[in-house]
Amino acid sequence: MKQIPTPLNKVQRAWVFYDWANSVYSLVIASAIFPIYYGALTIVKDENGQKISDTVVFLGKSFNNDTLISYVTSFSFLLVAFMSPLLSGISDYIGNKKSFMKFFCYMGALSCIGLYWFSLENLGFGLLCYFLALIGFWGSLVFYNSYLPDIAEKELQDKLSARGYIYGYLGSVILLVLCLILIMKHDVFGFDSESMPTRLSFVLVGLWWLGFSQWTFKRLPKGNKMTRVPKNVIFNGFKELQTVAKQLLENKILTRYLTAFFVYSMAVQTVMIVATYFGMEEIHWADDGATSGLIISILLIQIVAAIGAKLTSLASGKWGNINVLIILNIIWSGICMYSFTMTEPIQFYIAASFVGLVMGGIQALSRSTYSKMLPKTQDTASFFSFYDVTEKIGIVIGMFMYGYISQITGSMRNAILFLIVFFVLGIFLLLRIPKASRSAVK
């Protein structure tokens, strides 16, 4: 009998809306305008538009510009990975994970506003704001994701997870378009150059994130917060994590899934973070065509990603989550092989279309698959902190390897090619999950 779709309740709609609020960071800061702005500041070109130098001096040492941003990014993720398990253990123990989510949200949003002052003269302060914005974004997601099993039954979690990503893609595109109008039509708004409206875009990201998150915070449950925080809260936070770790290790299927996720997420997140930097340096754009070409590519990715997330949600209901994840990893491997050969804008657009198709799908499905595999528990923040640590440590390794290979070979292409190894290994690890379990998670 065909199942009648269930409308989302107020809490579920508010949870989904946080993706609308925070995804502007992912698009404008992590993927689109900030990478282009950073490249424009740090790459010196001759009168013909050919790159002369991409060296940046920071703390008295010279770095390749891509290597510097890769290292800062890696260190940010490393800090989140070490910090989030402790904080999630404490939040589960005292029942106030919404307070932690708010703290990271506000820190990230205010740091985005601080990027207004990013310049070569203020490189240290600018990188600090970039560092804190990244921690704020990913730190808030630990607690945000942990609400999924609290507010939805298993049969609704794929749909809800995908809906969140769809809202995020659409909301972030709206703000990106507004920022682009401000930048590209800067003279209409009374600006002498693109620099000021570009930096104002960072301010708009912070205000958007702060403003729209208020609906989420108003509706999400507060939890069973203690009236008095015990003195041994840190010790009990560790104790909470030990209990969760023991349950994870006893669940062989969940452990195998987390291992596979660790490997393929390492490659997925690295590709998503470095895609714009790759396009800036490795694609042969026409004169002054790099910025518009990259923006078109990013918009294409966002629009297609919303479709991809929906299609993946439907496919998982038919073939099972793990089987669909295997297919998505195969497609990602093909994208990396194709990216190694591309040099022309049309090839970059084709790659962007396929990235968009599988990007939303693999993120939404990975989150809901883990949520479905969890045992019945009240310690959702602690369980999702292990998911978060798995993802962040993977990003640290991926970004470090990417930056290191780019530095020693002088080419980002070699680093992209290296990521295929992680996708292939991810496929192998997913196949180690028994067939009955692969088909059962729907």
CA–CA dist 104, 435 (Å, integer)? 39
Q: Where are the domains of the chain?
A: 14-220+230-440
Amino acid at 216: T
Strand 55-58 to strand 61-64: parallel, antiparallel, or no bridges (unpaired)?
antiparallel
Helices (DSSP H) in 283-419: which residue ranges? 290-319, 321-341, 345-373, 380-409, 412-418
pTM recorded for the entire structure: 0.73
pLDDT at residue number 227: 45
- Tens of pLDDT along the chain (442 residues) come to 333 345 678 888 899 899 999 999 988 888 778 888 887 787 655 555 455 556 777 776 767 677 788 778 878 878 887 777 777 666 665 667 788 889 999 999 999 999 999 888 888 898 999 999 999 998 888 788 878 877 878 777 777 887 887 888 788 889 988 988 888 888 888 888 788 889 999 999 999 999 999 999 998 887 555 445 455 555 555 666 677 777 777 888 888 888 898 899 888 888 877 777 777 777 787 766 677 777 788 788 877 887 887 888 888 888 888 889 999 999 999 998 888 888 888 888 888 888 888 887 888 788 888 888 877 765 666 677 777 777 778 777 887 777 777 777 777 777 777 888 889 999 999 998 887 766 656 6
Return d(Cα 419, Cα 305) in angstroms, integer: 21
The three-state DSSP-derived secondary structure of 220-244 is CCCCCCCCCCCCCHHHHHHHHHHHH
- Give the three-class secondary structure for 274: helix
Three-state SS at 207: helix
What are the tokens at 218? 């108003």
Q: In 3-state terms, what secondary structure has residue 59? A: coil
Instruction: Tokens 């694609």: give the residue.
Output: 283
Distance CA 258, CA 255 (A): 5
For residue 1, the model assigns a pLDDT of: 30
pLDDT the model gives residue 210: 95
Confidence (pLDDT) at 321: 87
CA 316 to chain centre: 22
CATH of 14-220+230-440, one of 1.20.1250.20, 3.40.630.30, 2.60.220.10, 3.40.50.300: 1.20.1250.20
